[in-house]
């Protein structure tokens, strides 16, 4: 019996709530049909729309701020990568420039050494030919060395220029002595044979000194 009474009370309460709800709705409808009711309704609706728009706007703004922050992070990462690549490119450029300079120096030195061989070898050959008493071959070798020596001496300055000029002058004198003999000193009591021997020795020493006085290759 108690349970039935309870159910009846609950059902009666529900019916009462529904009826009250209908009454409120009817009152609201009648109120909205009036001028002031419509104004109040529009005001309430405006406030609701404002809050809805505010909430949606804040949500969209927060989302945009998050996206902007992410993009800024990506941009900063890209800028850091770009800076690193730029620094590496600069370092590589410096290394390439340094290697180019070293290569140019090596090529210059190689050309110089090749040119020096063109001088030294004929001089050594001339020395051997003169020891074997081959005048014509000696003269030809000295001419070859002289031509290459003048080519190498072009543009030389200072002490190097003096060495080149001294070597060129001695080789030229040696060629002249091979052709016409050594000059006779005034008052010399040497016999023709002795003068010939002394001349040959002088030419030999001139050629030998020419191989020694050449400037050292550039470092």
Tokens standing for residue 23: 């009454």
Stretch among 43-57, 64-78, 139-153, 193-207 having the lowest mean pLDDT: 43-57
Q: What share of the chain is helix, strand, coil (3-state, %, to 5)?
A: 90, 0, 10
Distance between CA atoms of residues 92 and 100, nearest Å? 12
Q: What is the mean pLDDT of the chain?
A: 77
Which pLDDT score is estimated for 31?
A: 59
Distance between CA atoms of residues 167 and 149, nearest Å? 9
Cβ atoms of 210 and 167 within 8 Å: the answer is yes
Q: What are 28-59's pLDDT values in tens digits? A: 666 556 766 666 666 766 777 777 776 776 67
Which pLDDT score is estimated for 143?
A: 93
Q: For residues 132 and 211, which has the higher predicted lDDT (pLDDT)?
A: 132
> Where does the pLDDT of residue 93 fall: very low under 50, low under 70, confident under 90, or very high at 90 and above?
confident
Distance between CA atoms of residues 104 and 97, nearest Å? 10
């Amino acid at each position: 019996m108690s349970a039935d009474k309870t159910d009846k009370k609950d059902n009666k309460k529900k019916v009462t709530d529904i009826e009250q709800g209908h009454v409120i709705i009817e009152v609201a409808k009648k109120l909205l049909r009036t001028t002031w009711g419509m104004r109040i309704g529009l005001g309430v609706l405006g406030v609701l729309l404002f809050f809805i728009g505010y909430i949606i706007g804040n949500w969209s703004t927060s989302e945009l701020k998050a996206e902007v922050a992410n993009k800024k992070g990506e941009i900063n990462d890209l800028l850091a990568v770009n800076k690193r690549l730029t620094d590496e490119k600069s370092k590589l450029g410096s290394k390439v420039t340094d290697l180019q300079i070293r290569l140019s120096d090596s090529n210059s030195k190689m050309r110089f050494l090749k040119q020096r061989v063109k001088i030294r070898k004929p001089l050594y050959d001339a020395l051997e030919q003169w020891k074997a008493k081959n005048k014509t071959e000696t003269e030809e070798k000295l001419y070859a060395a002289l031509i290459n020596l003048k080519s190498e001496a072009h543009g030389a300055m200072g002490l190097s220029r003096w060495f080149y000029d001294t070597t060129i002058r001695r080789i030229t004198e040696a060629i002249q002595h091979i052709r016409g003999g050594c000059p006779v000193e005034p008052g010399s009591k040497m016999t023709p044979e002795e003068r010939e021997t002394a001349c040959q020795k002088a030419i030999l020493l001139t050629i030998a000194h020419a191989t020694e006085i050449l400037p050292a290759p550039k470092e």
